[in-house]
Amino acid sequence: MDKLEKWNLIKADLQMAYQLLPTNVKQSDFGYRECDFLEYIQNNELRLAMEELDGVIEDNQPPSSEFWQHLVNAAQLMGSPKEQGYRLYLSVT
């Protein structure tokens, strides 16, 4: 798989996770901010976009297991150490 294919798969997983967030999700400077996520994803700052999404747990109920599965997939493709934490969240949802 080349770099462009990998980026497209990561971006797709992040966008699918984003779509799973409830419309009334609380936003904060220390958690999740939709405008920041959208800016990161638009500029292909995929690691930052992923970290912005995981911030949703700071001020909200834990997202669905499907949400965490998308973050696991993205982290795995990136080779991110965050994959392990996302797998933990996945196992308890």
- CB burial class (10 A; 0-12, 13-18, 19+) of residue 75? buried
Distance CA 4, CA 68 (A): 23
**73 sits in which H/E element:** helix 65-78
pTM of the prediction? 0.95
Q: What is the pLDDT of residues 7-61, one digit of tens each?
A: 999 999 999 999 999 999 999 999 999 999 999 999 999 999 999 999 999 999 9
Nearest to 93 by CA among 75, 74, 70, 76: 70
Locus of tokens 């911030």: 55
User: Domain locations in the chain?
Assistant: 3-92
